[in-house]
Amino acid sequence: MARIPKIWYRKDRRAWFVTIRGSRHNLGPNKKEATERFHQLMGATESKAIKAMSLVAIADLYLEWVKIHRAQSTYVAHRYHVEKFCQRYPDLQLAEL
């Protein structure tokens, strides 16, 4: 279970810090400003760049992996369901999932 982020003071650096999603942030020497910065960081949404790939391209990559790493019967079953799904949504992009 992940810990709930909260600010703490480092005497050696004379600054307030917080760890959010595995990244440590220096919030500055003033507790009031550090608390405000902490709330800004917690309110910010994490945006990751998403490649422009179609569902069909992703499905092809997945089926290639299954064919190499799983049994032939598993590949046949997965291919059937993945192809049906791709026929239903042929123009779907990764960003839309």
**Residue spans per domain, the chain:** 8-43, 55-96
- The C-alpha atoms of residue 64 and residue 30 are separated, in whole angstroms, by 54
Q: Order of strands, edge to edge, in the sheet holding 23-28? A: 8-10, 15-20, 23-28
> What pTM value is reported for the model?
0.49
User: For the segment 53-80, what is each residue's pLDDT rounded down to a tens digit?
Assistant: 888 999 999 999 999 999 999 999 999 9
Tokens read off for 55: 């569902």
Q: How far apart are CA 52 and CA 94, in angstroms?
A: 6
Query: 56 by DSSP, 3-state: which?
Result: helix
Does position 97 have pLDDT exceeding 70, yes or no?
yes
Read off the pLDDT of residues 40-56 as tens digits, 9 standing for 90 and up: 998 886 666 666 788 89
Q: How confident is the model at residue 24 (pLDDT cuts 50, 70, 90)?
A: very high
